[in-house]
Amino acid sequence: MISMSREPSEVEIRKMTGVVFVLREAERLHALKPEQVVELRQFEEWLQCWNRAAKPQPPSVVCPRCGRKSFHPRDIAELYCGFCHEWHPGMKP
């Protein structure tokens, strides 16, 4: 697991979030090796811990198929995943 000796600044968190977005796209295009996907998931978990500690999270839903989170109010109301382009009754907040 990743660790830092100090708490990252908000700017650093934004930059790391951008890196995660790029890596997710690489994963979607099947450009990552399986071990890289595992490392990406660990990094996402670590980053989410810092994000949660930094500010309260707005309401969201998590897609059971791709694991992505949506904060859009309509996606929450309709249990829709914009990444999969499907409605999932099994989505959870």
| Total domains present in the chain | 2
Is the pLDDT confidence value at 7 over 50? yes
Domain that includes residue 36, residue range: 1-57
pLDDT band at 6 (very low <50, low <70, confident <90, very high): low
- Report the range of poorest mean pLDDT among 16-25, 51-60, 69-78: 51-60
Q: For the CA atoms of 60, 78, 67, 19, what is the dihedral angle to 10 degrees?
A: -60
Could you tell me the pTM of the whole model?
0.40
Are 40 and 32 within 8 A, CB to CB? yes
In this structure, the answer to whether residues 34 and 69 fall within a common structural domain is no
In this structure, the answer to whether residues 36 and 80 fall within a common structural domain is no
In this structure, the answer to whether residues 49 and 92 fall within a common structural domain is no
pLDDT at 22: 74
In this structure, the answer to whether residues 53 and 82 fall within a common structural domain is no
Q: What are the tokens at 42?
A: 């660990």
pLDDT band at 1 (very low <50, low <70, confident <90, very high): very low
In this structure, the answer to whether residues 47 and 89 fall within a common structural domain is no
Mean pLDDT for the stretch of residues 51-65: 74
Percent of the chain with pLDDT over 90: 0
Give CA–CA dist 20/37, Å, rounded: 11
The candidate with the shortest Cα–Cα distance to 59, out of 68, 69, 51, is 69
Largest CA distance in the chain: 42
In this structure, the answer to whether residues 51 and 66 fall within a common structural domain is no
